[in-house]
A and B are shown apart, each in its own frame.
Chain A
Amino acid sequence: MLQRLYIHNFRCLENFELPIKGMSSALLIGKNGAGKSTIASALEVLQSIGRGINRVGQLVQSKDFARGRSDVPIRFEIEVLIEKKLYKYALALELPENFKELRVFEEQLIVAGDIIYSRKEAQVTVYNNSQNREAQFLVDWHLIALPVIQKQSNTDPLHIFKTWLAQMIILAPIPSLMTGDSNGETLEPKREGSNIGEWFSGLLGRYPAAYTQVDQYLREVMPDIKDFLNELIGKDFKSMIVRFEENNANLSVNFKDLSDGEKCFFLCAVVLAANESYGPLFCFWDEPDNYLSLSEVGHFITSLRRSFKNSGQILVTSHHEEGIRKFSNENTFVLDRKSHLEPALIRLLSEMSVQGDLVDALIRGDI
């Protein structure tokens, strides 16, 4: 579970801390440009590191410095509780004068109070607390060390933490890119949901029981669904087909021909099954109420909240009044930014004074 996320000097996030500790689900609201999606982008930097991208230039560019302020490092700090151990990872990136690409200034991983490795510019020091040994080596200062340090085993804290980062689900789905076609398997969904076919294949390949969970959810939202297939249509190439049935009549629909909202039902089903199968997971879903009918929004959000209630953690953004109403003051964060020249500020709704109805206040622009 994410305990703390601190971001400094990254786009509109300056000295920014997300106080999400202990919350199984939370909502981010705020005007356009307030910084909600930037939080997802910051998390995506960390997710990409977990997924093996180690070239700093592929993660962050000079335009990402807040207001172009490149004389101050961009800093990411994340604290995660995994199996009752607190993992603290910090990464600072700088752009010295006359450099074209950012480089690592500082990097450190601490697990349950023990330093696993620390780094200052190119110098990396790996600690082995149990035998009190340490190793030192140099890493190209344009490369993040976390993905390149060799894991000792699957119980190695480095591996556990990298896997947690890699399996973070960050979504801002674009249904037109979700075709259901796949030529491989993965447990690493893309932000726009375009590899849902690969994710679905990866989930069922490793956790066949997940089919039941996906099926159960889909039957609740689409009662006429019969089943869904992931058919092999070429060498290593699969395509998802959904079959519907009513009054003994059948209809097969290619996944890509489902409506935008129906594709989001599938995505939701896979999120819920993934959290159940290989979670607890952290999920950030940017505007999950997009593409959904008004009668469905509340149920959709509630399903996500219930699924993550006892395991995992979900953070969503919303501009939709029905979506907003499905959260409460103690788990709703309001992001505010006075202008494009000022940083994003975050406050818990329960700590603010709102005159009258929240949705009315949002419509009036008072929040």
Chain B
Amino acid sequence: MSVNKYKPHILVLPEDDANRQIANGFILDLNLNSRVIQVLPEAHGWEDVVDKFTNDYASTMRQYPHRMIALLIDFDEDKDRLSYVKEQIPDDLENRVFVLGVLSEPERLRRNINKDFEKIGEALAKDCSDNTNELWGHHLLRHNRTELDRMISSVRPFLFK
């Protein structure tokens, strides 16, 4: 069955192909319930992620109160991007939307740790299911801590076994 929209589930909207592959690796983790997570087609740019979210997904989130969404964007070393993106999220949906991404871009993280995107996703999922902070603690990812903690506390009951 596809994701049950009447039960808690999370959609993942990746900015680009690299983030999509990271998400692919994430859902391969065997401790994760892959039936409650759906990776959406990539949006082709962080601004498009915001546009798609506000134009297409925000209204369906109001329709389905158990729906959550993770926006995977590149921060491109822009310190203001997170606050800008979060400002675009309507107040009533704020607690169900999470904004995550590499401080610069996934390609740099890949070079830095010498792992392909899918393996990066697997390692990030393992950190989440094992409650560790190995890869999430990397200097290109650790800025996600607040958003990640918020997301984990929301999704842990249904996403991880």
Contacts and interface: CB of A to CB of B under 8 A. Distances in A.
B24 A306 contact: no
A310 B34 CA distance: 16
B3 interface: yes
Contact of B2 (A296, A309, A325, A358): A296
Interface in A274-332: 293, 295-296, 298-299, 302-303, 305-306, 309-310, 321, 325-331
A302 B28 contact: yes
B27 interface: yes
A363 interface: no
Contact of A299 (B2, B24, B25): B2
B2 A293 contact: yes
B39 interface: yes
B21 A302 contact: no
A295 B34 CA distance: 13
Contact of A328 (B30, B42, B118): B118
Nearest to B24: A328
A218 B151 CA distance: 30
Given A296-B1, A298-B38, A357-B17, A310 B30 contact: yes
Contact of B116 (A299, A325, A330): A330
Contacts of B116: 328-330, 350
A81 interface: no
A325 B20 CA distance: 8
Interface of A is mostly: helix
Contacts of B25: 328
Contacts of A309: 28, 30
A220 B2 contact: no
A222 interface: yes
A310 B42 CA distance: 28
B53 interface: no
A223 interface: yes
A348 B1 CA distance: 32
A328 to B, nearest CB: 4
Nearest to B41: A325
B21 A328 contact: yes
Interface in A326-361: 326-331, 350, 357-359
B29 to A, nearest CB: 8
B35 interface: yes
B44 to A, nearest CB: 7
Contacts of B2: 293, 295-296, 299
B39 A325 contact: yes
A296 B3 CA distance: 9
A326 B157 CA distance: 25
B46 interface: no
Given A296-B2, A299-B1, A329-B116, 10 more contacts: A223-B1, A223-B4, A293-B2, A302-B27, A325-B20, A325-B24, A325-B39, A325-B41, A328-B118, A329-B117
Interface of A: 220-223, 293, 295-296, 298-299, 302-303, 305-306, 309-310, 321, 325-331, 350, 357-359
Instruction: For the complex of A and B, list the 6 residue pairs with the smallest distance between their C-beta atoms, beginning with the closest.
Output: A295-B2, A328-B21, A328-B118, A330-B116, A221-B1, A302-B34
